[in-house]
Each structure stands twice: as C-alpha cells, then as structure tokens.
Chain A
C-alpha cells in the first residue's frame, strides 16, 4: 500500500513540478491514493487494498478473510461476541494502548489452553484502529504471542506437505497482512515468535519473508517523502508545501503576513490570514524580462494533497510569449576572452549521434511566483502581489488580472471526510472548461465567475 501511494504521489509531483496547472487535474488521482490511507472504520483495510499485493500465494488465502468479513454478523452471534465484548467492556471509557494490552492480558490469563485464540486475534485486529494501536509493532508482537507455541509446528513431511492447522496459519498471515497494510515492518521478535508458533517454513513465515524482502526496497522509493506528521502551524505548512511544489533550492520563501487576530476600537474582531509566497531568482529574472504590455494572471486555488491534508495555492503566471516576440540573443563573437564559443562550421551533428528524443514542446507560459494564504480573496492576494513588488519592480507597470475560483472557501469550511466526496472535482471542471478560452484575452471579461481587476 505504501509503495503504491508513493508511486502515485511521485507521478503527481513530477507533474506539479512541471506545471502547476496540471496539478489540478491530478488532484483527484492523489486524493484516491490518500483517502485509501485512512479508511473509514466501517470497511476493513484488506478489502480496499487486496489487489496491491496479490502474490501467487494469495488465492489460497483469500477466501478466509473474506469469509470472516462477510460472516461477521453471523459469528458475532456465537463465540466472537465474547471477544468483542471483552474489548468493549474493558475499554468503556478510554481506548488506549494500555487498555488494549489489558484486554490481551485478560485473555491470556483466562485460559491456559487459550481456547478461541484465533477468534480473539481476529477481533483484536479489527479493534486495533479504534484503540489507536494499528501502527504499533509491539502490540502486533503481543498479539502473535497469544498463539500457543510449538503446537502448530509440523513434525513430519506429511504435515509439512499439507496445510497444517490452516485456520491458525491463515490467522497468522492475516495479522502480518494488517501490519503490511499499515506499513509496519516486523522485527526480529516477530520472526522468533513466528518460528516458535508455525515453524521455519509455514505460510506466516513465508509471508514474513516476503514482507522483509519488499519493505526495505520500497522504503525510500519516494524521492519526495511527505513527513508522517505535517507541521501544524499554517505558515510552516505553507512553507513546506511551497518548497515542495517549487522543488528549487534557490527559491526564497517570504512570509508576507503572519496570521494574527486584532480587535479594533469599535470592538470588531479582525482576523488577518497568513500570506506566504515563494519565488526563485530565475523567476525574478524571467519576470524582469516580461513584456509589460502583456497582463499577468493570479490564478487559483489549486489543490495540493499532503497525506490526508489538502492545501491550496495560487500562482502568478503569464501566457506564453507569442513566437513573434521571442528574440534570440545574437551571438557575440567577442564574448569569451579565452576560447571560441561557437564553431563556425557548416556541419551538423550526424544523425547516428543524435541522442535527443523527438519531443513536441508545448509552450505553457511562465509561472513567476506562488503563494498560499489562509483566505483566497483578492484583497489578500493583492497584498502578496504588492509584497512581490519589492523584488520585482516591473509588477508596478504590468496589469495584473485575478482569475480566482470560488472553490476553497467552501472546501475549508467542510469537514475533511466530506471534502473527499463532495467538493473535490469542482475546481478541476472549471479549469477544464476554461482551457479552450485561453488565447483570446477578450473572453476573460466575459467570464462571470472571475473576479478581475486591473492593478495599477
């Protein structure tokens, strides 16, 4: 699961890096990956992710968890009730790791023979997210410890040949699979327990080996890892997100305004949103060369997904320079004091040594700066633009148009879970509708949704 997500993010990020515009289209893709990460409690994780890691061993194992899941209600009527109840009873007030451990202790002490331990483990696995221990290796090891030792180890070749104690083995595999789904890497203790319980060559041991083969390989597969705990402070988060999109080490993040709350004399409360911008030296250079007769656009908001969090950013961009305005710098033979910068020859590179690919270049128009703000209103973004003017005096002469979507304010108001399902696609549709209208500037005025204003 982790790897799949990584891959998706990687894909999205490269696209984000290339063009912020396309990021909007890929937001949906990201969301699909991210939403899988924190599944609603009602659906067990294995239902969602099974297809990610189906190895040759899977078909045999599949029926059991499915049966367990489907027959959930049926079983609860009988033996399982006791275990589920056990969890509910012990942890009536608080559900923590300590209480979870207590339940396990109670079960272990209850019965020396550990009767019904398979059902108990299934129940426990299901309850883990509720207790917030689904990412705790120690707890998994404790659960494994519930299995009686040496009983299920095959003792002769016939036992080894056939599926020895299949229910128990499958339960062990299921436990490992849940670990895998949460990205928890087993440790030596897990291995020792598995060997003690199922022997060296049981299915759980194979599963363990497979995990240990793939997990380390995928651990650093994402060159742009998102930290587990995102910064809480919106300014820090904005700084992190902007550097992540820009992917330019020279880019400078400027906090144009810190979030603060003021009370005016009349007793009104004014909340100033944060405004954090980013611009690299090459963008400054590019902007300085911009033809002042052509307008600049402030566009947004575009979504950026960081794990299960969505943030929005705005870009300052221009339309691509029309080909007739492009001027190539003339070659100056008196440029280099020491050696000729060009060979004055009438020979081109031989076709056999042409190493470049035939790529169709699509001129997309430069992005000059990006920003994030707590409130995507024109007044706030204006503040950003005037802040940018310090480094880019040309902004004083160039008309700046605001092409803002209404999207994010609603989105931010809504709860996280809702935003997954309801509002997601909206900004993208607007983007796509507008694509064909890009070139003529006249059409801009006809857009009813765009709040625009010439900036002096």
Chain B
C-alpha cells in the first residue's frame, strides 16, 4: 500500500508540474503534440480501412506501418503499468470478490488512487488524459479481474463518456473532476426491460416542468452496471420535440445525479460471472433534472448513445489478450509439471494444440486492439467504429474459447473452485453479450460495409443488369485470369511493398482473400440489393470474413514492424502470423464459397427450416428414438 501511495504521489507531482508548465497553451499545443508524438501523416482522413475491403481494395496507408507510440509515452506506460500490475497481483483477491459478489471498499480506493477511474479524462479535468492506446494497455491488466474491469469500463468507457464526448464545457467542469478521481462513480442507463437495441421501445420519459427549468424523468432502466453505487448517470429518455411544426418523440441524454432525488436502485442481479460488479435495476420517479444537464441538444440522444457505444468497444481486444496471456502462464506451468505415462502433459499433441490456439488468439487480439487504438489516436476524428466492433467480436469469442480450453488442460481440477479457471470461464461469458451482442455487431459490421460498397457500386451493377456487354466481358476476362492462376496483386509485397518479405506468402493469401471478398460483395449486392438486410445468415458470413481480413491485416502489419525493428522473438510472431493467416485464408475461402449462388456448401435454407419447425413446435420436434408405432 505504501508503495502505491508513494508512486501515486510522485506521479501526481509529475502531472502537476506538467500541468503548470503548459497551462495556457494547452489546447493549441495538444493536437500538435499528438501529431509529433506519433509521427503520422497530417492530412485529414476520410477514408476508412475496413470499408474499403468491401470494394476489394487494401488501403495500405491506413494500416501500414503498425502504429507506434513515442518513446515518451512508452516511458509513461512503463511507469504506470508496473504499480497497477503490482496492485492487481497483491491487493486484489479475485476469488473473494467473486465469492462475496462485492468489490471491497479498500480495493476500490486503491483503484481510485491509481487514477484508474479517469484514464481517458483529460488532465485539465483531473484525469490521466491518456490515449486510447494506453487505455488499452491498462485494460490488459485490469481484465485480470473481470468484476473490476467491468466496473471500470461501465464507469469510464460508457458511464462518463457522454459528458466527455458530447457534454459542454460547463458540464465537463462540473462533473468530470469528481468522476475522474473516482469520488463519484458513473453509470450508463439505456437498456430497459422492453428495449435493448430498439430505441423506439424506450419508455422512460422526460417531461419539461411548467417553469421550464427542469425535466422530470420517469421510468426504469434495467441491467445497469454500477447502478447501485453510481452517483452520476447518463440517462436516455424520450422527450417531446417539435420538428417542422410536428410534435415528435425523440431520445435525449441527461446527466442525472443521484442527489437530485427520486432515484432508487433495485436488488443487485445474481449473475453467472463478473459477480463482483454491481448490476441492478434503476428506477426514476419524477427525478428533477435541470435543463442545463441535457447532453448535446434535446432530441439528440440517439447520436450520443451511438457514439458512446461505438467508441467503447475496442479495449475488449487487449482485455481478452491480457487474460489469455495470464492463462497461458498458469496452464503451461501445469502442463510442464504434470506427468502421465512418464510424459509431461505438454508432450501430447492435443495439449500442444491448445497452447498454440491460445497463443495465436492472444496474438491476433492484441494486434487488432492496438492497431485500432492507434487508428483512433490519430488526429482528426477518425471513425473506427467498424474496426472497434470487429475487435470486440473477435476477442469476445476467442476469449470464450481460450478460457474454456485453458480449463480443459487442467481437466477436473479446472472445474473446481480451487483454481481460477472456472471463474475466468464464467467471467468471459459476458463478453459476447454486453456492449452490443455479437449478433448485433455482426449485423452492424456487415451492413455498414455493404451500405458503403453499395453506394459505390450501384451504378456499375445497374449497368450490368441492363446488359452492358463491355462490363460483362470485363467480368468474364477477370474470372478467366483468376482461373489461370494469376492471383490478385494489391501491392502489399513487391517493389512498393509494406509487408516484410518473410511474410510474403501470408500477404499473398490475404490479397487473394480481399480480391475474392470484393467480388463476393459485388455479387451479393447484385443478387440481393437492399433486401440484403433480411439475409442475416449471409451478413453473418460477410462479417466473419471481414473480421478475419482485418485480423490478417493486423498481424501482418504488426509482425512486419517487429521484424523490421528487430523486436525480441519476432520469429515467433512470424510463425504465429503465418499460421493464423493460412488458417483464416481457408476459412474465408470456405465462407465465400458458401456465399456463391447455388453453393452446395450452403445449408441456409435447411437451417431456417429447422428453426422454423422447432419454433412452431416450441420444443424439440423429433420423436424419442425409443418410441414405436407398432
């Protein structure tokens, strides 16, 4: 404890000095500093990487070279990470938190002292003012305890994010300092019993009082993380807005303090995992909220909610990676010492496979997370929501598989409460569910890209439908060339290549996939047009292919950099990259084959039919195998 305190003291001093030294010119200088630090092009960015993949193009300038942070920042991270790591290994008793379903007060205080409640809040509001990249690095450590990670994320990734990105100066001045220090805890209140993603079914209502100074909020919100302990909440409610002379209901965002009165929270939910985090129902009964507490403008809550949700997801990649890296340490210890038939467990192929799987997954997640964080840290306001969603989907599913495999290595031991594995498995199960379920995010990923590609390709497709011979011949020629084995060259390798030659083969596979993906998207748009929205199984595959493509990009970019600057063990990175890329290549090819017309690999019609019959029956349909008719 002493240690930590001393560290914090020195650190805040350090910050204080900085604060004083550039108190006035900050605003102007900040952007400049960021640019210099990252040494990245300064032109405004309107191109996004993932969207271009839908057109079969690799916008390599976006993702190569792999984003780096300046030496100054590396130092900062090292200073910050060590005490946090120490705190988590020494002061946090995860088993106890899980058992008692509560994070002890002293642990929370420790976290507050470390400044972990205001990682991304700018320094002028009392936070650490760190970049997305450093935030991701810290998330790697905080994820060692799921409950703490979720509590922190609910506080700063979504809870206070509304004020941070859409609040006005007065709101920031008033609320951020206390939130950053952890004196106040924030919560994000959007979900309702009858409303998940459907904004139309939000029933919580804010009505303007007669004197026009207050909104009165009525309604209740469900599954609010930190709901019980939050002092400041971002609440979304319907308000009446006049648009073009017509009264309409629109969503608005409000900052609600518990101190306003009328806020009650229900019993904490008894959950499968992340048991230490507090989740409960929060009810609002005529809560008076001053009009100046509206975030953004009245009726603009929808955009605020979308922005908050879209920006909070990228860190799950590094969180999962952090967790898996820890699990690899724990299980490899066991696999090396445990002996069966005079062989250690690690000598068995099936156990080796699990370690390879965990390593690859951790490596890919890490690469994706820091690539995305780096993109987000670039100057300007880059829209990385698509990339962030992909990181979330990939890492939440990978995390689930890896924790489960880690438990499997220990067998029965892993299943007991004597070891932390079962807790990791339980904690991990929430990842595919919260912050937008993976199903919904896949829809988002696929549809956003399809919308973008559709806009570009509409003219071409229309020409094709009209029977433009030139275009048709061009297509045929392209197909012929492809069938003669001339693979696509998107310029990743070769003369102006950005990928290191030792990864050339993987890069070729990636290019081939991208090329095929482009034509697949085109044919899907040709075939389904705007009715593609209803083809969820197709969209799922599109999203999966894209996620893999983005993952391939991330690992290629990362290990190219590692080789080039000679990072330790970069040969292992090459190995992981090549393994992952070839694996993803075949999976992508399979999925894209399924997306072809009349593909025998495609079982979608059957899948839908099975589901329909089951749902009609509302039970398993088949007769029992032991039943007889005579």
Q: Which residues of A contact B (CB under 8 A)?
A: 185, 187, 212, 215-216, 219-220, 249, 332, 334-350, 352-353
> What is the bound-complex CA distance between A187 and B630, given in angstroms?
8
A contact residues around B250 at 8 Å (CB): 334
- CB < 8 Å: which of B454, B525, B618 contacts A249? B618
* B526 interface contact, C-beta 8 A: yes
4 more CB-based (< 8 A) A-B contacts, given A334-B199, A345-B458: A185-B630, A338-B444, A352-B527, A352-B597
Given A216-B630, A249-B618, A338 contacting B528 (CB threshold 8 A):
no
Listed stretches B105-113, B302-310, B502-510; interface member:
B302-310
Are B454's CB and A343's CB within 8 A? yes
Of residues 458 through 497 on chain B, the ones whose CB sits less than 8 Å from some CB of chain A are 458, 461-462, 465
> What is the bound-complex CA distance between A353 and B531, given in angstroms?
11
Given A337-B199, A337-B302, A338-B443, A212 contacting B630 (CB threshold 8 A):
yes
8 contacts between A and B (CB under 8 A): A215-B629, A219-B630, A336-B197, A339-B443, A339-B447, A342-B530, A348-B529, A350-B529
CB distance from B457 to the nearest CB of A (A): 9
> What is the bound-complex CA distance between A132 and B95, given in angstroms?
73
> What is the bound-complex CA distance between A211 and B629, given in angstroms?
13
CB distance from A3 to the nearest CB of B (A): 13
A249 nearest in chain B by CB position: B618
Are B302's CB and A343's CB within 8 A? no
Are A349's CB and B630's CB within 8 A? no
> What is the bound-complex CA distance between A8 and B299, given in angstroms?
58
Interface residue SS majority, chain A: loop
Are A353's CB and B597's CB within 8 A? yes
Of residues 435 through 457 on chain B, the ones whose CB sits less than 8 Å from some CB of chain A are 436, 440-441, 443-444, 447-448, 450-451, 454-455
Are B451's CB and A344's CB within 8 A? yes
> What is the bound-complex CA distance between A345 and B197, given in angstroms?
23
> What is the bound-complex CA distance between A249 and B616, given in angstroms?
9
B440 nearest in chain A by CB position: A338
Are A350's CB and B526's CB within 8 A? yes
CB distance from A447 to the nearest CB of B (A): 40
Are B198's CB and A349's CB within 8 A? no
B442 nearest in chain A by CB position: A339
Given A336-B199, A337-B199, A343-B454, A349 contacting B531 (CB threshold 8 A):
yes
Are B458's CB and A215's CB within 8 A? no
* B251 interface contact, C-beta 8 A: yes
Interface residue SS majority, chain B: helix
Are B528's CB and A353's CB within 8 A? yes
Given A215-B630, A339-B440, A345-B458, A350 contacting B528 (CB threshold 8 A):
yes
Closest 7 CB pairs of A and B: A347-B529, A216-B629, A339-B444, A345-B454, A334-B302, A339-B443, A343-B530
* B563 interface contact, C-beta 8 A: no
Of residues 405 through 454 on chain B, the ones whose CB sits less than 8 Å from some CB of chain A are 436, 440-441, 443-444, 447-448, 450-451, 454
A346 nearest in chain B by CB position: B458
B contact residues around A344 at 8 Å (CB): 451, 530
CB distance from A257 to the nearest CB of B (A): 31
CB distance from A292 to the nearest CB of B (A): 23
Are B629's CB and A349's CB within 8 A? no
* B242 interface contact, C-beta 8 A: no
- CB < 8 Å: which of B190, B454, B528, B618 contacts A337? B190
* B272 interface contact, C-beta 8 A: no
- CB < 8 Å: which of A219, A335, A345, A353 contacts B200? A335
A218 nearest in chain B by CB position: B629
A contact residues around B441 at 8 Å (CB): 338-339
> What is the bound-complex CA distance between A340 and B526, given in angstroms?
20
Of residues 601 through 630 on chain B, the ones whose CB sits less than 8 Å from some CB of chain A are 618, 623, 629-630
Are A336's CB and B454's CB within 8 A? no
B309, B441, B528: most-surrounded residue (chain A CB, <10 A): B528
Are B597's CB and A343's CB within 8 A? no
- CB < 8 Å: which of A216, A345, A353 contacts B530? A345
* B4 interface contact, C-beta 8 A: no
- CB < 8 Å: which of A187, A215, A249, A348 contacts B531? A348
CB distance from B367 to the nearest CB of A (A): 25
B contact residues around A219 at 8 Å (CB): 629-630
A contact residues around B526 at 8 Å (CB): 347, 350
A contact residues around B458 at 8 Å (CB): 345-347
B305, B309, B465, B531: most-surrounded residue (chain A CB, <10 A): B531
Are B448's CB and A340's CB within 8 A? yes
* B533 interface contact, C-beta 8 A: yes
Q: When each residue 565-603 of chain B gets 1 if its CB lies under 8 Å from chain A and 0 otherwise, what string results? A: 000000000000000000000000000000001000000
A contact residues around B462 at 8 Å (CB): 346-347
> What is the bound-complex CA distance between A348 and B440, given in angstroms?
24
Are A343's CB and B198's CB within 8 A? no
CB distance from A89 to the nearest CB of B (A): 37
B451 nearest in chain A by CB position: A343
- CB < 8 Å: which of B200, B443, B455, B530 contacts A348? B530
A contact residues around B530 at 8 Å (CB): 342-348
CB distance from A18 to the nearest CB of B (A): 15
* B532 interface contact, C-beta 8 A: yes
B299 nearest in chain A by CB position: A334
Are A338's CB and B309's CB within 8 A? yes
Given A337-B305, A345-B458, A347-B462, A353 contacting B527 (CB threshold 8 A):
yes
Given A216-B630, A249-B618, A347-B458, A335 contacting B527 (CB threshold 8 A):
no
A contact residues around B198 at 8 Å (CB): 335-337
Given A340-B447, A340-B448, A334 contacting B527 (CB threshold 8 A):
no
> What is the bound-complex CA distance between A350 and B462, given in angstroms?
11
